[in-house]
């Protein structure tokens, strides 16, 4: 599997607390996969896919599933049994993730997957996942509509009660776009999270206050980026 590297050169597998979504605050082990099929202008993990700005050989590492599982167990210690597959876009490597998830579930792990909602899960992988954290990209992400909006894939996630939709919000235009998409998909608003864009605590605090009013008006959840408030943009947190 192709993973991102830590600054130390080790694969980016680390224990922390989940920073976003409905499981924010849950102690978790993250596995960050490299490569992505989208190019978000505000992405805070461009080192997983932007091979113009970053050196692919230095930023990624090929590693076997069994070794990843071993490292997850080592990082988890006694008390962590929530694993989060993130990226990049994890579903580009979902065949290998089936094997990894299966091994971790044998040790009592719950599996979360963070995805941009453009790649259809296989039946085998879907059977391994306890929670989907789906982040469909809006026009403000800078991706073309054709690249970022896959209606059939989003309909699949919308039909799953274990999938939440999280949108990165930069303006009222984004909120209006969310309204339209949520109505089209028929997703209950309690499964929709609006999260302010930002990679520092000051920006997030200011935008969260503004966004809280929109969430209160429309019945959406307000999402935080707990890890940013705690550690900023530090890698491996």
Mean pLDDT, residues 181-209: 91
Q: What is the DSSP code (8-state) at residue 108?
A: T
* Per-residue pLDDT at 130 exceeds 70: yes
Q: Is residue 150 domain-resident? A: yes
Regarding predicted confidence, which is higher, 154 or 225?
Answer: 154
CA distance 77 to 97: 21
The pLDDT tens digits of the residues spanning 50-103 come to: 999 999 999 999 999 999 999 999 999 888 999 999 999 999 999 999 999 999
Q: Is residue 37 domain-resident? A: yes
* Per-residue pLDDT at 204 exceeds 90: no
Q: Is residue 236 domain-resident? A: no
Question: Residue 199 — pLDDT band, cuts 50, 70, 90?
Answer: confident
Q: Is residue 237 domain-resident? A: no
**Total domain count for the chain?**
1
The pLDDT value recorded for residue 207 is 87
* Per-residue pLDDT at 231 exceeds 70: no
Bin 219: left if φ > 0, else alpha if -120 < ψ < 50, else beta.
left
Q: Is residue 114 domain-resident? A: yes
Regarding predicted confidence, which is higher, 119 or 204?
Answer: 119
Contact 136, 181 (CB under 8 A): yes
Q: What is the CATH number of the domain that holds 69?
A: 3.20.20.70
Q: How many helices (H) and strands (E) are present in the chain, helices listed first?
A: 9, 10
Domain membership of residue 75 as a residue range: 2-231
Q: Is residue 35 domain-resident? A: yes
Lowest-pLDDT range of 47-51, 92-96, 114-118, 208-212: 208-212
* Per-residue pLDDT at 229 exceeds 90: no
The pLDDT value recorded for residue 93 is 98
> Which pTM was predicted?
0.94
* Per-residue pLDDT at 236 exceeds 70: no
Percent of the chain with pLDDT over 70: 96
Q: Is residue 41 domain-resident? A: yes
Q: Is residue 217 domain-resident? A: yes
Closest CA to 110 of 29, 164, 33: 29
Sheet containing strand 27-32, strands side by side: 13-17, 27-32, 82-86, 110-115, 131-134, 163-169, 192-196, 221-222
CA distance 200 to 227: 10
The pLDDT value recorded for residue 202 is 85
The pLDDT value recorded for residue 102 is 98
Percent of the chain with pLDDT over 90: 84
């Amino acid at each position: 599997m192709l993973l991102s590297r830590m600054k130390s050169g080790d694969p980016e597998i680390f224990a922390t607390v989940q920073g976003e979504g409905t499981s924010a605050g849950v102690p978790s082990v993250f596995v960050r996969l490299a490569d992505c099929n989208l190019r978000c202008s505000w992405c805070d993990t461009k080192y997983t896919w932007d091979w113009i700005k970053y050196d692919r050989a230095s930023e990624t590492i090929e590693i076997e599933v069994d070794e990843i599982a071993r490292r997850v167990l080592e990082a988890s210690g006694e008390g962590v049994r929530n694993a989060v597959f993130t990226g990049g876009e994890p579903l580009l490597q979902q065949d290998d993730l089936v094997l990894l998830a299966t091994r971790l579930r044998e040790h009592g792990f719950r599996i979360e997957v963070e995805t941009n909602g453009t790649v259809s899960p296989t039946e085998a992988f879907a059977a391994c996942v306890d929670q989907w954290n789906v982040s469909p990209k809006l026009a403000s992400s800078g991706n073309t509509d054709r690249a970022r909006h896959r209606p059939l894939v989003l309909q699949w996630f919308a039909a799953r009660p274990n999938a939440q939709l999280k949108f990165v919000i930069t303006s009222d235009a984004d909120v209006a776009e969310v309204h339209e998409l949520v109505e089209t998909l028929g997703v209950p608003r309690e499964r929709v999270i609006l999260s302010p864009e930002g990679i520092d605590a000051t920006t997030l605090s200011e935008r969260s206050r503004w966004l809280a009013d929109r969430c209160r008006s429309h019945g959406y959840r307000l999402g935080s980026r707990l890890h940013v408030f705690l550690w900023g943009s530090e890698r491996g947190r």
